[in-house]
Amino acid sequence: MRAVLSTPIIETVDLRKVFRSPRRQPGALGALRTLFTREYEERVAVSNVSVSIQPGELVGYIGPNGAGKSTTIKMLTGILVPTSGELRVAGVVPFEHRSQNARNIGVVFGQRSQLYWDLPLVESFELLRAIYTVPRDRYRRNLDEFVALLEMEDFLRTPVRQLSLGQRMRGDFAAALLHDPKIVYLDEPTIGLDVVAKEAIRAFIARINAERETTIVLTTHDLADVERLCRRIVLIDRGALIYDGDVERIKSEYGRYRTLVVHFAQPVASPSLTGAELVAHDGTTARLRFDRNRERADLLIRQASERYPVEDVSIEEPDLESIIRRIYREGYERQHEEAPT
């Protein structure tokens, strides 16, 4: 229970960010007039988020588009100054000590590379070594390790613009980690990658977290990333925190609907079972949803085989993706209260 005893490495209390922008004025001199306007539009991007993360944790930070994920990450990294609330990362208030904070963190923006577009990959690493004043031997050791783990040997001397997205992404990971950051923020690190490249990146993230005990905050749309990597998720929607806890817990709380898939030996017209709801049917295959807190799977299966010529059955557990989709749609609190305890 190391996590409980140590002090948090990332801690936010009521962290809030409101974007305030002048109401845009139309016309040729609009930009000039916009400068002097007194009308503002306000948009709450992050609303009183309190989170604390222990050293060595790997946390999935999840939310739909525009939920405030990126804004939170930008405050944690020191890019944006919070409107209010407290924030400490490795003992430092990021925006007040940007430089010091920068040495503690590594950042991968999946959609924006930090590599020099026109130059061989290794040149960007050399530059980062100088920027972070990484001692030669440590740099060598890290680079060798990353080249081996991420299989970069073949394209280390290729100009970045000629790399595939997967190769470039691997380069960006190495670039973010060369200075041994204590904390790494990964913003959509697997976006646009194919299955193989995704798995390579996920394996690398898991390994860095396990071996170097690097604290990792991962934002992603691909919940398979989270299922594969994170024990804990923080869910945010419309700027507000709606869930913070174990992936397993959210699955058991929300995953009360399972699906019974029944294959029939010959077509059956409108099959039905007591206690389950038919959700899809194409003659020989029926999908029936049931509440696992009310119905028992074995009894439903027996019921099905008594009524119909059943050839095969299987049970689908809800995946994280469908659970999260439901939470966004229906809200966390309401669901939570309704769920039988």
Return the residues of window 106-125 that contact another protein according to CB under 8 A. Answer: 107, 109, 112, 114, 116, 118-119, 123-124
SS3 at position 321: helix
- How far apart are CB 191 and another protein at their closest, in Å? 14
Contacts of 287 (CB under 8 A, 6+ apart): 259, 260, 261, 262, 278, 279, 280, 281
- How far apart are CB 107 and another protein at their closest, in Å? 5
- How far apart are CB 301 and another protein at their closest, in Å? 49
The β-bridge partners of 244 are 234
Q: Name which of 124 and 209 has its Cβ closer to another protein.
A: 124
Count of alpha carbons within 13 angstroms of residue 158, beta-carbon side = 12
Q: Which long-range contacts (CB under 8 A, 24 or more apart) does 131-136 make?
A: 132/103, 132/178, 132/179, 134/178, 134/179, 134/180
- How far apart are CB 123 and another protein at their closest, in Å? 6
- How far apart are CB 68 and another protein at their closest, in Å? 9
Buried b (16+ CB within 10 A) or exposed e, 15-34: bbbeeeeeeeeeeeeeeeee
Q: How many residues sit in the footprint of another protein (CB under 8 A)?
A: 45
CB 121 within 8 A of CB 160: yes
**Given candidates 98, 231, 294, 296, which one binds another protein under the rule CB under 8 A?**
98
Q: Name which of 41 and 317 has its Cβ closer to another protein.
A: 41
The reply to whether 269 sits near another protein by the rule CB under 8 A is no
Q: Name which of 102 and 241 has its Cβ closer to another protein.
A: 102
**Given candidates 1, 2, 133, 340, which one binds another protein under the rule CB under 8 A?**
133
CA distance 70 to 311: 49
The reply to whether 36 sits near another protein by the rule CB under 8 A is no
Residue 170 has φ and ψ, to the nearest 5°, of -60, -40
Kindly list the residues in this chain that would bind another protein in the complex (CB under 8 A): 19-22, 28-32, 34-35, 43, 45, 66, 70-71, 74, 77-81, 95, 98-100, 102-103, 105, 107, 109, 112, 114, 116, 118-119, 123-124, 126-127, 129-133
